[in-house]
Amino acid sequence: MLVLGIESTAHTIGVGIASDKPPFVLSNVYRRYVPSSGGIHPRESSRFIAENAYDVLVEALARANLSIKDIDAIAVALGPGLGPCLRIGATLARFLALRYGKPLVPVNHAVAHIEIGMLTSGFRDPLVIYVSGGNTAIIAFLEGKYRVFGETIDISLGNLIDTFAREAGLAPPYIVNGRHVVELCASRGERLLSLPYSVKGQDVSYSGLLTAALNMVRNGERLEDVCLSLIETAYSMIVEVAERGLAHTRKKEVLLTGGVSASPLLESKAKLMAESHEALFHNVPREYAGDNGAMISWTGLLAYKHGVTINPLDARIEQRWRVDEVDIPWRNQAGRSS
Ligand SMILES: Nc1ncnc2c1ncn2[C@@H]1O[C@H](COP(=O)(O)OP(=O)(O)O)[C@@H](O)[C@H]1O
Ligand SMILES: [Mg+2]
């Protein structure tokens, strides 16, 4: 069985092809929109996605040495994400499904970030630390769904470091040689400054931290020290709620996934935490950390095997589609996939 998956929720147009036989991912082609100034502008990002979608699709098929006729189903991320961007992927997917007579499989982007990590880790029932530009949540599977055991109550972790970088004059670009510019700057930090550490029950709040860090920069504190203090505080907060989630759920595996999982510093903190509880740890490989089509195709394949399809004429985008709203029929109570 072969499933082609399309990702276009925010800044990336990605097309992946998944197979139900090893090596499972046959291709993973993506292009990312990088704003020349400021943050992601949905209209500009959606234009980038529209302009690049065809080439990415053709290249993904070519790399897997397949033609569209060989594909059994088309999967698409219908949300959560930015409306104008989601619409491009949804339109392309509806067209492919109707034109070539293929079933269409709706995929939730957050579930896809988790499932690609389930594939690469071989884990059965982890506590998931999902950190990206749109989301920050601690998640575990329970009774048919991925449940949220803690999340940000305002901005995401990726949004925090991206906005700080931009406002402090460090970005764009946000990523240089695979490292986030705030982390690169923090590596020259010498002093830890006191910033608001807001963990509220199982939730975190990052917006006060952002304001306080920017105020420090305006008040003349050394930028390198503010960067160091910011990431130390922000990463420790999410790892703390993950640790409590782990103690509470008694899971024996910890999975780190989403765009910010590409941070070596966050990885080392999460790994240390997992190991101190004798839990296994896995960080999703870099090529699957940021948004990509492979994770959509793989999740689409799991869903399609369990009969999840949608009439192309009913396939609408859902900008605020939460992870805990999605039925996961391919996992049983022990989290094992079938
Ligand atoms: N090496 C890195 N270190 C820390 N953060 C990173 C790194 N690479 C990407 N990110 C962050 O990941 C986020 C994007 O996550 P991603 O899952 O690709 O997108 P989205 O949040 O739109 O789903 C951005 O905030 C980006 O700054
Ligand atoms: Mg993402």
Co-location of 137 and 261 in the same domain? yes
Task: Give backbone dihedrals phi and psi of 159, rounded to 5 degrees, phi first.
Answer: -65, -40
Q: pLDDT digit string (tens) for 206-215?
A: 999 999 999 9
| pLDDT over 60 (residue 334) | no
| Contact between residue 336 and residue 154 where contact means Cβ atoms under 8 Å apart | no
Residue nearest to atom 20 of ligand 1 (CA): 133
Co-location of 49 and 139 in the same domain? no
Q: Which domain holds residue 236?
A: 124-287
Which CA distances in Å does 266 have to 129, 205, 241?
A: 11, 17, 14
Please report whether residue 236 resides in a domain. Answer: yes
Q: Residue 102: how many CB atoms within 10 A of its CB?
A: 20
Question: In the structure, which protein residues have their CB atom closer than 6 angstroms to any atom of ligand 1?
Answer: 9-11, 132-134, 158, 162, 174-175, 178-180, 258-260, 262-263, 290-291
Please report whether residue 333 resides in a domain. Answer: no
Please report whether residue 205 resides in a domain. Answer: yes
Q: How many domains does the chain have?
A: 2
Co-location of 17 and 104 in the same domain? yes
| pLDDT over 60 (residue 335) | no
| Contact between residue 296 and residue 262 where contact means Cβ atoms under 8 Å apart | no
Please report whether residue 118 resides in a domain. Answer: no
In three-state form (DSSP H/G/I as H, E/B as E, the rest C), the secondary structure along 8-43 is: CCCCEEEEEEEECCCCCEEEEEEEECCCCCCCCCHH
> How far, in whole angstroms, is CA 191 from its chain's centroid?
31
Please report whether residue 6 resides in a domain. Answer: yes
Q: pLDDT digit string (tens) for 44-78?
A: 999 999 999 999 999 999 999 999 999 999 999 99
Co-location of 173 and 99 in the same domain? no
Co-location of 25 and 170 in the same domain? no
State the average pLDDT over residues 171-180: 95
| pLDDT over 70 (residue 336) | no
Pocket test for ligand 1, best of 46, 108, 128, 132 (most atoms within 8 A of CB): 132
Percent of the chain's residues with pLDDT above 70: 98
Please report whether residue 119 resides in a domain. Answer: no
Co-location of 15 and 128 in the same domain? no
Please report whether residue 22 resides in a domain. Answer: yes
Domain CATH number, residue 154: 3.30.420.40
Q: What is the pTM assigned to this prediction?
A: 0.97
State the average pLDDT over residues 298-311: 98
Co-location of 142 and 99 in the same domain? no
Co-location of 200 and 275 in the same domain? yes
Co-location of 106 and 133 in the same domain? no
Closest ligand 1 atom number to CA of residue 113: 17
Residue 38 has a pLDDT of 84
Co-location of 319 and 229 in the same domain? no
| Ligand 1 center–CA 27 separation, angstroms | 21
Residue 332 has a pLDDT of 81
Comparing CA positions, the residue from 274, 338, 320 lying closest to residue 138 is: 274
Pocket test for ligand 1, best of 82, 159, 180, 184 (most atoms within 8 A of CB): 180
Closest ligand 1 atom number to CA of residue 179: 1
